[in-house]
Amino acid sequence: MQNTEILERYERAENGEVVIDVSTQKIEDLYSTFDKKSHFLKKDLNQDLVDYIIDCVTEIGDTKFLIQFNF
């Protein structure tokens, strides 16, 4: 698939940046299960979330992006 076809699958912000959209019911879902009781600054992100973001960034290449969290 060509880069333009890939980029068309993503929404764009008003400034033209690609939007990587992350939606979840609650903030706790963003973190690893074993870190749910840890202090906010010491929590590790859920590995599925990390993999998703890395896959998106790899897919869009050098295109500027932002990550939008929806709760």
Q: How confident is the model at residue 66 (pLDDT cuts 50, 70, 90)?
A: very high
Check residue 20 and give its pLDDT: 98
Is the pTM for the entire model greater than 0.85?
no
Pick the more confident residue, 35 or 13: 13
* One-letter identity of residue 53: I
d(C-alpha 36, C-alpha 16), whole Å: 35
d(C-alpha 32, C-alpha 37), whole Å: 10
Q: How confident is the model at residue 60 (pLDDT cuts 50, 70, 90)?
A: very high
Could you report the per-residue pLDDT of 26-50, keeping only the tens digit for each? 888 888 877 666 666 678 889 999 9
The token duo for 25 is 């019911």
Check residue 9 and give its pLDDT: 93
